[in-house]
Structure 1
Amino acid sequence: MDKNTGNRLPAPGLPTAGLSTAGLSTAGLFDHHLTDEGLARLWSMLDSGRYEVRAPQEAALLCVAWLVRAGESAAAAALVEEIRPFAGEVRFAPHPADRPVPGADAVHVRTVGEVAGMLARRAPRPGIAAQHEALTVWRPFEDELLDHWLRAGADPGQDAGQDPGQDAGQHTEEGAALLARYRRLAATHTRCAKHLDPKSNPAVLRRALEEQVAGRALSPRLAGLLRHAVASMVAKRGRPGSAEHTRLRGAQAAQADRAAHQDLAALVLRRLAPLDVSRGVEDIGPLIAPVTAEEAARYGLPAGAVVPAPVRAAVATARSAPLDTLLEHGLIPSAEVLGEVAEQLICTHTARGYADPALRTLMAATYRAGRDRRYPSWWTPEHHARITELPWVRAVAPWVADPVEQARSTLRTLGEGWVRAFPGAGLPNSTVRMLSGLARLAELPVPFAAEPLADSYSGMAGPEVLAAARTAAGLLRGTVYERYHGIDYAAVRDLADARDRHGFALLCAERAGRPEQPLVSDPAVVAQAHILTTSNLATLVVHAGLAPRGGWGGPARGAFAAATGPAATVKSTACAWRQLLFHLALCDADEQASVLTWIDARAARLPARAAARIARPLADLRQAAAVR
């Protein structure tokens, strides 16, 4: 029923209350959700977000419900009539869920299923398992052996075999029981092999015990070894039952009570089990919390045991949150991982244009549900167009903001995240290709240039490379970037205007000092193309409006730090230095001077090797910056 006007949608032959959806056919489920009860259930899902859209068509009835609640009964009825012929074959209803569906801005590094797979593959650590066995099995048994010989008279300073007053037959019977238990323990507990060392003190005690149980007198050598072993063990740990010995064994028992890493990983795996394996998790707190009393009783773990840091770090990668949040918490470790996360933002970029929160979340779920999971990089403009043309998505389209501006906003978000978090790194080629697709939806006049930058047969630069170079020329002519690299951006612009793809490729080869090498394969020539085009940075600034918060000084400092850091390689340093020059070129005069002063101070503190590596580039930078 229309919540505002009271007009009933077509749902013939069904009651309006008390009907369970269990056992309903696809058509019956469709009709049920058009009753008062069904619409109320859908409205509840929209408000709580507790639903799953596993395929795009499962969002259709939620769109109907949203239209009804918005007072658009005619649009809702038209949508119902359009999809009703398929109701017997297609499920148009969502699946109920215990947890809210992620919001339109939510992204994650790994899904719950991927994290679960990582934890399931965590193999037990043999060293830790052996230590646990030693503390819980063999140390207590050694104490019993030592106590037996002390009571039998093998105390330091006494003759071995001297009985202080207890019956020898009783000692023999106890000894036989100890040896039998040793054999059972050795057969069951095989991780710790120290007890097998014949020269160890416990082995000497056992060997002497075997002689005693067999009724044979100890040889003088074995008797001496026995006295020495007993004396050594008492000196090291104290007599069993003494305060010193009790304190030591108490500390060791506490250590043994600590759950093994793999046991705690298995507990976290159980906590993950009820969750949707295809999504991230908004709140990871309960997943990595210490062991509860209930879990301790059920799984034999110590209550309050803390989940190990490596396990917590693995679970954190499934955190679902806005991109800025993941970057602030260091959950995106590299530009490559940012590229993987970018796909999630790109696929839902249109959904973020809906003002209504419930509709925004629903549309994000719809776009995500279109993913073909067979391919790691699945998003394309064509895929996006197919989702956009679905009848229920079309029906709510009047409530979305300009999709072109939404695409540009997503480009800015990704570009700002990249420049802020990884100012010295270039974007992976796979990410550039996705950005190129998004640029089409954003109706940018210039595409992004992805490798290969030239035709493999002719060696001519691609048209998008010329466009990127022309954009860079307009932005950077007369800047420190042009002076440092010795670029004649006026000539570059002329080549681009003339669409001289061959001439541009020759220019790159000449700048690399390899005029016979093609642009498509020689790394030095390709590097010159990246310099002339700024690896798409100029395109993001000019056409997508990239402008990092706080200005370009921060990225410039970050790029210098990346170029001189301990993990820098020759290749990464070259890329970071190119990024540094770009960021610096967009600083105003005061900010540029401040960054250069900071660079000089930072360079003076570098280790000798790092300082030597950048000495020449730094001198060239100072010279280029001094020219106005």
Structure 2
Amino acid sequence: MPATLAMDTNDTSPSSAGLGYVLAQLAAAARTGDTHPDPATRARGRDRAQRWSTVLRGMLSGSLQPGSRKPVTGLPSWVTLEVVRGGFATGRAVAEGPLTAAELTFAQEAGIPASRSELFAYWLTEPGQLRLRNLLDSGCYRIDVPEAAAVLVLAWLIRSGDVAAASRFVEQLAPLADRLRFTPTPAATPAPDPQIMWRATAGQTAAALRAKKPRAQVEAMREAVTVWAPFSDQVLGLWCETVRDGRVAAHYPDGWTARASSAIDRYRVLAAAHTTCAKHRHRKSNLSVMLRALDTVVGGQDLESRTSGLLQCAVDGAIAKRGAPASPVLERYRRDQAATVTPGHHRLAQLVAGRLDAADPEVGIVDVDAVTTPVNASEAASTSLPPGEPIPDSVVRTARRAMARPIELLLGAGVVPSAEVLAQLTPNITAEVVGRGYSDRQLGALMTAHHRAFMARRSLLLVDLQHQVRPAELPWVQAVAARRRVQSEDGRVALRRLAKLTLDAFPATLVPNPMVSQWMTLSRQSGDDLPWVEELAADIFAGRFSAKYLRAAQVAASVLTDSLYARYFDIDYSAIAAADPARPERRGVGSSSWFDQLCYDRAGNPTDRWDVAANGMVIEQAQILTTHNLATLVQLGVTPTSGWKDLAQRTFAQLLGLVSRIPGNPRQLPLIKDVAYAWRQMVFYLSLVESAPQEVEAMAGFLARSNPAVRERLAPAMTALTRVAAGGRFADDATSDSGRRLTGWTTERHWLIDSSS
């Protein structure tokens, strides 16, 4: 979140905290909507501005309370809210708005007025219940927002004979039945195998391909070769007809003037239709010179000596460069030139989009290769694309976003570029574990689909150590809670799988919060009480950590006491292990003032005044003490496929790449934070390797042979790590020869920015 979302520790009012941020976002969106050159981007900007205006009006009127678990007056906390950047609710529920096509169809088929309240009443009738039971049995439905599972849960309760639970459930839903969509969307087929995942559906990918625009430079070159080159040869041929004894415009054959006039007319038509290439308009270009001379002669005037001289140079130069018109030399030149011109990528993207139209638009596609084959004969005939033309890499990359495979194969295919994307894909795995917790097959499938939709909820801005709404708080989940059993081993197996995938694929990246959220869910499913910690936003940090941060640090103490990690970061894990457990404070939220103070002390108590960078320094110390979940993974028994040493080496290689991007980078500070995260994780991995001293020595040797800009920046941190790995202690003195401790946040100029320490 941007730093404008500031909150003074003496004023914890979310409204006062976020007003400046909201105004800044509104201004930025309005500016985009008014001034951006792209119409689609302007439209999106206006849409964002409208939503931010709604947020602002709600805050000013008091109907919105940012920072609360129940930020919208009149809506319970379980309602899925429309949330904009920064975690601000707009006041609108995602499940409200105009009736969907599915709702209108249901109402029409039931012969009832098209309203949500009438539709809700219909679902309570026998015909409505029969329709819902059929959906449950077939599995042919989609849950795109959690509320859409409600009436299916109701139908399941009634069929199972739990009328009392169904009645209580109806009482909870009824007050919002006229406003929220509790109805699922019918589908032609059951939900696909949850183990099969994709980054984008076939429909989304086709839309993205159709949105590809021509590249101006490429289209200008294509126009130059296919339009202006042949026309230029035609004009050159006209002037070659006038040559005598090497002199251009020496005589004009019969009919020449008419042909020249026709060429001028054709030029006007071509210039109006083909505006990408502008070279023909340059006064000094050969074509421009020849055309001006044509216009003069066709107009009945004699050529001035200067014009005649320019014309002679243009004709002689064109022939010398490419050959005379109709000559084998010119024909070969144009043939070679045409071979360098390929169809526009946007045209080939349109072709692939058309191929994707044959697939189910709501899911991915198994065989991406089949839709990215070269242009076939029938396609060439209908599109004028060259037969056999290969699909360009940029189009193939977009199409591969629809590749439908198990997550391990997607990672192997390079389709998952980041830990954030991995976290977006893997809720399928978590949802399947949730569904297996229900003994009834139809209910399990429903709760799998529901949890997948729940994981797409956007997080709210929360203060005062509040936590996001959990699935167990939703009325339809509560209504069938008694039917769920703990799936201890299923949850642990899935958690280890996700953790291993994350470590193996992105060892240098801080685990993103959406993935941490999935680990929390799987831990709850398995009945384990593990302290998973999220990355906190520095611009809304209120100065306290919840109880689980101390518990996570104590888990780290059990793994890292007197380790390379503990010595490099100067952590007294014995004191942390002996610390009293956090105690409940107001609202029942546990926290530890001892742990809070430890983080402040380690950050150097940077300021008494609220400051984003100072907050970041304190939060970073909590991340260091807890290892940001890495130690908890070790305690759970997670190990990377290739071992901790390989993970450390790969992280070091990525770290060098990150450091190499610092010089001249306009976003140096975020990059330096990524460097610090990678460095910390590398030190953690090394702490689990018996040969850590030798590994550190090898890394130091490699660094000494690296790019000077990288070597000079990273040398202080490597010096300190080498000394600690050899058995020494870190001397926390920035001016000493013992090196420097590498962290990402600072209230001063970071030493990694400069080429020397």
- The TM tier, using the shorter chain, reads 0.7 to 0.9
**Does residue 541 of structure 1 match 2:624?**
no
Over the matched positions of the two proteins, sequence identity in percent amounts to 32
Which deviations, in whole Å up to 9, do the C-alpha atoms of 1:450-492 show, x marking residues without a partner? 2449998984431111110111111111222222222111111
Which deviations, in whole Å up to 9, do the C-alpha atoms of 1:540-594 show, x marking residues without a partner? 221x33221232112111222233222364322221121112111222x24x355
SS of the residue corresponding to residue 513 of structure 1 reads coil
Q: Say which of 510, 513, 520 aligns to 2:601.
A: 510
Which deviations, in whole Å up to 9, do the C-alpha atoms of 1:276-313 show, x marking residues without a partner? 44433332222322222222222232222222212211
Matched ranges for 1:326-405 at <5 A: 326-351=410-435, 366-367=449-450, 370-371=453-454, 375=458, 381-382=470-471, 403-405=487-489
Q: For structure 2, which runs of at least 5 residues remain unmatched after alignment?
A: 1-107, 111-122, 171-180, 461-467, 584-590, 663-670, 729-757
Alpha carbons 2:141, 2:184 under 8 Å: kept? no
In 1, distance between residues paired with 2:243 and 2:575?
98
- Structure of greater Rg: 1
Q: What's the counterpart of residue 50 of structure 2?
A: none
Matched ranges for 1:232-271 at <5 A: 232-256=317-341, 258-271=342-355
Instruction: Give the aligned residue type for 1:625.
Output: A
Q: What's the counterpart of residue 121 of structure 1?
A: 211
Q: Say which of 189, 201, 220 aligns to 1:130.
A: 220
**Does residue 624 of structure 1 match 2:703?**
no
Q: What's the counterpart of residue 625 of structure 2?
A: 532
Q: Could you say if the C-alpha distance between residues 78 and 431 of structure 1 is closer, same or farther in structure 2, counting changes exceeding 3 Å?
A: closer
Q: Could you say if the C-alpha distance between residues 273 and 612 of structure 1 is closer, same or farther in structure 2, counting changes exceeding 3 Å?
A: same
Superposition deviation, residue 128 in structure 1: 1.9
In 2, distance between residues paired with 1:155 and 1:348?
86
SS of the residue corresponding to residue 169 of structure 1 reads coil
Q: What's the counterpart of residue 7 of structure 1?
A: none
In 2, distance between residues paired with 1:554 and 1:191?
52
Q: Say which of 319, 328, 331 aligns to 2:403.
A: 319
Instruction: Give the aligned residue type for 1:580.
Output: M
Alpha carbons 1:271, 1:287 under 8 Å: kept? yes
Instruction: Give the aligned residue type for 1:195.
Output: H
**Does residue 176 of structure 1 match 2:176?**
no
In 1, distance between residues paired with 2:598 and 2:163?
62
Alpha carbons 1:461, 1:519 under 8 Å: kept? no
Deviates more, 1:237-246 or 1:188-197: 188-197
Instruction: Give the aligned residue type for 1:537.
Output: L
Alpha carbons 2:599, 2:621 under 8 Å: kept? yes
Alpha carbons 2:410, 2:416 under 8 Å: kept? yes
Which deviations, in whole Å up to 9, do the C-alpha atoms of 1:131-173 show, x marking residues without a partner? 222212211111111112222x32662463336xxxx332222
SS of the residue corresponding to residue 96 of structure 1 reads coil
In 2, distance between residues paired with 1:176 and 1:301?
33
Alpha carbons 2:581, 2:592 under 8 Å: kept? no
Superposition deviation, residue 621 in structure 1: 2.2
Q: What's the counterpart of residue 409 of structure 1?
A: 493
Alpha carbons 2:434, 2:525 under 8 Å: kept? no
Q: Say which of 582, 599, 602 aligns to 2:684.
A: 582
Instruction: Give the aligned residue type for 1:161.
Output: A
In 2, distance between residues paired with 1:312 and 1:126?
21
Superposition deviation, residue 80 in structure 1: 13
Which deviations, in whole Å up to 9, do the C-alpha atoms of 1:81-115 show, x marking residues without a partner? 999999xx999996334xx8532222333344543
Alpha carbons 1:459, 1:502 under 8 Å: kept? no
Matched ranges for 1:408-487 at <5 A: 408-452=492-536, 459-487=543-571
Q: What's the counterpart of residue 523 of structure 1?
A: 616
In 1, distance between residues paired with 2:235 and 2:444?
68
**TM-score, normalising length: structure 1:** 0.77
Q: Say which of 667, 672, 696 aligns to 1:570.
A: 672
Instruction: Give the aligned residue type for 1:508.
Output: C
- Alignment root-mean-square deviation, CA: 4.4
Instruction: Give the aligned residue type for 1:170.
Output: G
In 2, distance between residues paired with 1:302 and 1:206?
32
**Does residue 558 of structure 1 match 2:650?**
yes
> How many aligned positions are there?
567
Which deviations, in whole Å up to 9, do the C-alpha atoms of 1:360-388 show, x marking residues without a partner? 996796346645867489x9751698777
Which deviations, in whole Å up to 9, do the C-alpha atoms of 1:163-214 show, x marking residues without a partner? 6xxxx33222222222222222222222222222233222232233233333
In 1, distance between residues paired with 2:132 and 2:543?
60
Q: Say which of 200, 218, 238 aligns to 1:110.
A: 200
Which deviations, in whole Å up to 9, do the C-alpha atoms of 1:589-625 show, x marking residues without a partner? 24x3553354234223222232222323223323332
**TM-score, normalising length: structure 2:** 0.65
Instruction: Give the aligned residue type for 1:136.
Output: T
Superposition deviation, residue 57 in structure 1: 6.5
In 2, distance between residues paired with 1:59 and 1:286?
40
Q: Say which of 146, 157, 164 aligns to 2:236.
A: 146
Q: What's the counterpart of residue 211 of structure 1?
A: 296
In 1, distance between residues paired with 2:533 and 2:548?
5
Q: Say which of 179, 182, 194 aligns to 2:279.
A: 194
Alpha carbons 2:194, 2:432 under 8 Å: kept? yes
In 2, distance between residues paired with 1:487 and 1:453?
24
Deviates more, 1:135-144 or 1:125-134: 125-134
Alpha carbons 2:567, 2:724 under 8 Å: kept? yes
Q: Could you say if the C-alpha distance between residues 339 and 474 of structure 1 is closer, same or farther in structure 2, counting changes exceeding 3 Å?
A: same
In 2, distance between residues paired with 1:307 and 1:362?
39
SS of the residue corresponding to residue 549 of structure 1 reads coil
Q: What's the counterpart of residue 709 of structure 2?
A: 609
In 2, distance between residues paired with 1:370 and 1:348?
12
In 1, distance between residues paired with 2:727 and 2:473?
48
Q: What's the counterpart of residue 95 of structure 1?
A: 187
In 2, distance between residues paired with 1:83 and 1:253?
74
Q: Could you say if the C-alpha distance between residues 54 and 465 of structure 1 is closer, same or farther in structure 2, counting changes exceeding 3 Å?
A: closer
Alpha carbons 1:29, 1:93 under 8 Å: kept? no
Which deviations, in whole Å up to 9, do the C-alpha atoms of 1:25-53 show, x marking residues without a partner? 7988997999xxx99xx99x89xxxx664
Q: Could you say if the C-alpha distance between residues 303 and 155 of structure 1 is closer, same or farther in structure 2, counting changes exceeding 3 Å?
A: farther
Q: Could you say if the C-alpha distance between residues 137 and 545 of structure 1 is closer, same or farther in structure 2, counting changes exceeding 3 Å?
A: same
In 2, distance between residues paired with 1:373 and 1:182?
56
Instruction: Give the aligned residue type for 1:573.
Output: V
Q: For structure 1, which runs of at least 5 residues remain unmatched after alignment?
A: 1-22, 65-74
Q: Could you say if the C-alpha distance between residues 183 and 545 of structure 1 is closer, same or farther in structure 2, counting changes exceeding 3 Å?
A: same
Alpha carbons 1:407, 1:438 under 8 Å: kept? yes
